[in-house]
Amino acid sequence: MRAGMGGSQIPSAMSADIRLPPAAAASAADASGAAAPLVDPFGRRITYLRVSVTDRCDLRCVYCMAEDMTFLPKAEVLTLEELDRLCGAFIRLGVEKIRLTGGEPLVRKNVISLVRALGARLGAGGLRELTVTTNGTQLARLADGLRAAGVRRINVSLDTLDPAKFTAITRWGRIEQTLDGIFAARAAGLAVKINAVALKGVNEDEFDRMIAWCGEHGFDLCLIETMPLGEISGDRTEQYLPLSLVRARLRQRWTLEETDYRTGGPARYYVVRETGRRIGFITPLTHNFCESCNRVRLTCTGTLYMCLGQEDAADLRRPLRDPGTDEAGLEAAIREAIARKPRGHDFVIDRRHRRPALARHMSVTGG
C-alpha cells in the first residue's frame, strides 16, 4: 500500500549521511546479544518493524486516500536521525527485519541516507533484512542506491497493467514511470515483488494477465484485499473483492502449489507451476493473519501502532525528544507498548453505514 506526497516533500534536517555517535554504536553492539526479546502478551515474538518515513505520496490511489489530502506539518515529523535512533532501539530488542514504507517512502528528501544507516546495521547481532515498499515512481533514479545500501528485495505497488486504468486508480499517475522503475530495480539486482490490491469491477479481470507478465519478467505477485482504513471518496463496499473467490477463479487456469515460503509478513504463498513464480494472498477480511503476527508499525511522527486494525498506539516521539531519556529509557517505552499489543484486528467492511473500520488513512500508519 502506498500514499502520500501531495506536491511537496517533507524536508529533512540532514544534508549529509547519518553517522551514529561512536558511543551509541558501541552501546547497540554491546546490548545486541543480551537484551531480552520483545514478546507480546500472547507469546508472539516481535521481530518485524514497518517504518513509515513520510505520510506523503506522489499518487492518490482511490482505495488508499482522498484526492485532497492534508499532510502533517514538518514539526510533527521525525528527522531521519530520529528514525534511525528508534530503529536502533528496536534492533537491540530483537527486531530482525525492517521495511520502509509511507506514504511513498522514496519521496522523502535524502531518504537514501536513512537506508544507508540502517543497511550498516545488517549482519550478525543486527538486522537480517532491510526492505522497501514503493509505488515505483522514484526507482529509476534510486534503485542502484538502494542496492548499494543493502536492500535486496522490494515490493512495488502495481494494481493494473492497463495505462488508462492505472491513471484512474492512482488519479494522476503514469504507468510508464512505474514500469521504468520496476525494470530499473531488476537491472540493479533487486528482487521485485508486485503488490496488487484486488478491486471488484476494476482489475479483477487482469489477474491472469498479471500472473503471466510476472512469470515472463521474473517477479513474484501478491494480491491484497482492500482494507477499510480512512475516509475516501469511493465506496469500499463496491471495491471489496474476497481473495477466496479470486483464488478459486485462478485455479481454473493455473496450478497453485502450496509452499511453506514466508517473508515474515502476512502473505500466504503458492507456487504457480506454469511460471515457476510465487503468488501470495493477503486476506485481512476473509482470513486474518493475527495468530502469527510478529509486526508493529512505526509512523513518521514516532507513533507506534501495535496493530494495524486497532486505534491503541504509543507515543515514542516524546521520550525520543526528551533530553532526559537515554537508550534504556527508550527501550523501556518500546517494551511497555508491546505489552499492550492486542490479539488481533476487527476489520470489517461496513455495508450498512459505508464507513471505514478506522478513520486514519493507510498513508498515516504505513503500508
527486531: which residue's cell? Answer: 95
2 is in an annotated binding site: no
48 is in an annotated binding site: no
* Separation CA 367–CA 51 (nearest Å): 9
191-198 β-sheet, strand order = 256-258, 268-272, 278-282, 220-225, 191-198, 153-157, 129-134, 97-101, 48-52, 295-298, 303-305, 313-315
Q: What does DSSP say about strands 313-315 and 153-157: parallel, antiparallel, or unpaired?
A: unpaired
296 is in an annotated binding site: yes
50 is in an annotated binding site: yes
307 is in an annotated binding site: yes
103 is in an annotated binding site: yes
300 is in an annotated binding site: no
290 is in an annotated binding site: yes
| DSSP assignment letter at 67 | S
- β-strand partners of 303: 315
64 is in an annotated binding site: yes
157 is in an annotated binding site: yes
State the burial class of residue 8 (Cβ atoms within 10 Å of its Cβ: 0-12, 13-18, 19+).
exposed
* Separation CA 302–CA 199 (nearest Å): 32
171 is in an annotated binding site: no
| DSSP assignment letter at 94 | T
210 is in an annotated binding site: no
214 is in an annotated binding site: no
H, E, C per residue of 252-281: CCCCEEECCCCCCCCCEEEEECCCCCEEEE
Q: Which cell goes with 329?
A: 529509557
* Separation CA 188–CA 112 (nearest Å): 15
Annotated binding site for S-adenosyl-L-methionine: 63, 103, 157, 227
Annotated binding site for [4Fe-4S] cluster: 57, 61, 64, 290, 293, 307
Annotated binding site for GTP: 50, 99, 133, 193, 295-297
Annotated binding site: 50, 57, 61, 63-64, 99, 103, 133, 157, 193, 227, 290, 293, 295-297, 307
